[in-house]
Amino acid sequence: MLRSISDLHGSTVHALDGDIGSVNQVYFDDESWGVRYLVVETGNWLNDRQVLVSPYSVKHTDPGSSVVHVNLSRQQVRDSPILDTHKPVSRQHEIEYLRYYSYPTYWGGPNLWGMGAYPAYDPTGVAPDSLLDEPSRPTLHTNKPQADVHLRSTGEVKGYHLKTADGGIGHVSDFIYDDTDWAIRYLVVETHDWWPGGKAVLIAIHWIDVVDWLDSTVSTALTRDVIWNSPAYDDSMPIDRHYEVMLHRFYDRHGYWSDADTGERVALE
């Protein structure tokens, strides 16, 4: 099911033995646009500490209920590696985190979740002997401030300007992700500030050519007129496959759900 990241914000994270806290922001990786962690504000029970929750631990989310159920105990979360919120999440911290929970790495494999397409995790299975800092898949962007930084906050990217082939048209206002594989599928772009009577539109991730993290812009080869005439996005309505097919047909593009999925989730060079 496709859902918006904004719907996750403020959601209660419920562990096996009680609430952990609420979702503050979301980290995705800038190589494949996979949601890697929920950043959870724990509140008074853990001295307002922020902790990471991986989709590996998510049992299910209930649309409309604002609750994320995770297969963790409060004690596990209490003892998890400390997150320094004043620094980017490094690969070294991720390795420490994954070792703690005995989760597999998501990098180094051919799929969104390493060797798998989904964040499937068997807690009864044998934990990996070691988690090596393997080189990740080729980076999508060449202007990273440092090679070790690969996680981005949706809060950071929200507000980035959208550049088209013939000028600016709007800014990123939200993200649409698939709650099965936790892949971000679309950026929600708000055009009201650019054109009077503007609207919100969806831009698929595989229609993006470049993300400039220094300039805070997202670029696409699409034109302003094409985007302006595209089907509007209504955040009060769920996104179903019928809408997605209509959107992709308008742009004359294959859907990520088709046989062309592998070819379309390409590096955004």
Predicted confidence (pLDDT) per residue in 103-133, tens digit: 999 998 899 999 888 997 665 554 444 344 4
How many domains in the chain? Answer: 2
Q: Quickly state the pLDDT bin for 172 (edges 50, 70, 90).
A: very high
Do the Cβ atoms of 22 and 41 come closer than 8 Å?
yes
In a domain, 34, yes or no: yes
Residue 115 and residue 55 share a domain: yes
Helix (H) or strand (E) holding 77: helix 74-78
Mean predicted confidence (pLDDT) in 210-223: 95
5: left (phi over 0), alpha (psi -120 to 50) or beta: alpha
pLDDT of residue 178: 95
pLDDT of residue 149: 61
Residue 248 and residue 202 share a domain: yes
Q: Quickly state the pLDDT bin for 266 (edges 50, 70, 90).
A: very low
Residue 123 and residue 176 share a domain: no
In this structure, of 5-19, 36-50, 135-149, 226-240, the range with the lowest mean pLDDT score is: 135-149
Residue 99 and residue 35 share a domain: yes
* Global pTM value: 0.85
Say what percent of the chain tops pLDDT 70: 84
Residue 240: pLDDT above 80?
yes
Residue 25: pLDDT above 90?
yes
CATH of the domain at 99: 2.30.30.240
Residue 108 and residue 35 share a domain: yes
Residue 220 and residue 118 share a domain: no
Residue 91 and residue 17 share a domain: yes
Query: Could you tell me the residue range of the domain that residue 250 belongs to?
Result: 158-264
